Structure 1
Amino acid sequence: MVFAVTRVIFIPQGEMVAFGALTYALLEAGQLPGTVWLLLCFGVAAFAFDLVAALRARAGAGPILKAAAVDLVVPGLAVAAAMAIAGGGYGTTMHAAITLALITPLGPLLYKLAFRPIASASVLTLLITAVGVHLALVGLGLAVFGAEGLRAPAMSELSVELGPLLVSGQTIAVYLLAAISILALWLFFERTLWGKALRATAVNRLGARLVGIRTSFAGSLAFALAALVGALSGVLIAPMTTIYYDTGFLIGLKGFVAAIIGGLASHPVTALAALAVGSIESLASFFASDLKEIVVFSLIIPVLVWRSLTETHVEEED
């Protein structure tokens, strides 16, 4: 979705997952996560960008107030909510909701700071920028979360026997919420005005601008949805494995492999590709644990060769 709308291969998607997991784990442990300070700093920096742009354009008070609401008030409310419930023992549902509220605004703020100023640049330039943002977020993650890994307690003690398999409630929640997310995204893109605006921007940015769609808003919305999905993924995997500040790198790379197999276009096909990648990684870790990462990343080579030979090549839009 992010690539189709903005032409950005969003490598920092893995950081959204890792930050979501770490934030949720800290809230479950009764601590205030460092995400609140990260979000506040990003909001202040984004408001400074918008303020300078408004002053240069002599736009008046309206755009400045709007920028303050988006860059300062929305993150401030999320931070205030996190401070209010941290350590209060409000339960898993509230902690998960606060995690989503803290991570989701990071997406559009990142887009505003790093990608919107160069939105018309080439895909290669945007990719290099995405790599730089990823490296910056890894460093910031070390600063705000520390070097030690975190793991949240299980959301449920439920376990179900399916033949020889013992399936935990956490695993069931992963599959269930993944299916709900795919359905929700389909309804969003098919039934809502904002979703149709994103689709129009993905098909033709120039045409979308000509019919009155603000492509900058479409980019912010795409990044917000990506951050939301990443945060939800982090909440789901936090009780299943220990997450470190740099865990998002491998998560993002494996997700990228699945997205390439899915053609960077279809949510259901990408989800099936992700299941295939995970299954192959599990088999590889059983037969050759030292080579499991190589096996996973080698999957992308035949897919790229096949797509290069079978699909029509088009020039990049100016």
Structure 2
Amino acid sequence: MASLGWKVTRALFAVGERVAPSVAGRAAFELFSRTPSPRAQTEGERKAVSRAADFMRTARHHTLTVGADCVAVHEFRPDAGSGEAGRVLVVHGWRSRTEYMKTIIEGLRVAGFRVFAVDLPGHGQSTGRRLTIMKAVDTLASAGQWFGPFDLLLGHSFGGAAAVDAVSAAQKSATPLAARLALIAAPNSMSDILHGFSEEIGIGRRSRDNMVARIERLAGRSLEDFTGSRQLPRLRTPVLVVHAHDDREVPAGDARALAEAGSHVDLHWAPGLGHRRILSDAGVVSRVVSFAKAAMPLAKAG
């Protein structure tokens, strides 16, 4: 059942559609890009962060400036004397943070990889209260400039969408961002996400058109360009897509669409693991580690 707050929001957007769709579109964009309040953690989220406290203390912590935000980057090095298999960049999803990627990071570190994990703006230890796909891409590009190139870029959920766009953008430059790309429970189309959000808050067609126009002005390109199944065919990068059929946040059809992008995309199903449990499954971690090990080393140890 919808909360009173959402009912009021829907009523206001219904009025906005009739009398001021441009204002309603701008307000919808602000709501769409607003990150969750750090004080509004659920009990489960607080416990997850607490359980990962010792794990986070093993990292070296860096700070990058991305626009007006200070972005936290956590570096997890392999055990001393074990050598370095390569470098991996890990990025979480919406309403998430590095702590939730703990199992995968540990699996990669034990396998000899140096892992860099970013907290996107407005999440974890990073500052800010606004996040867009464009800002997420800028964050990954900045991490690449300081710590890359990477043998693998791994993104979960929203982070997967950002990873696709970041690798696509880097392919046009002289310096690659990552040799391989792993997408876990990642959405295929930002347009579909925006459509779902629009239905949830009850904005009309004119208001939505204004919101999309605002996003496209900021991005400098069409919203449809942020579609993985259109971007991946242009990549020379091997891609691993991991998804669960019972994912309630990102439909399994998104994984199928990504997998149809070409023979360089490998689809791995993880039955029964939903949207978040998939991150802590031993089988998924093993598959990701094997995929990472197949990369030709891009990064230099140091």
Q: Highest Rg: 1 or 2?
A: 1
- Structure with higher strand content: 2
TM-score, shorter chain, exceeding 0.5: no
Give TM class, smaller chain: under 0.3
Q: TM-score, normalised by structure 2?
A: 0.26
Q: Which has the higher contact order (CA 8 A, sep 6+)?
A: 1
- Structure with higher helix content: 1
Q: TM-score, normalised by structure 1?
A: 0.26
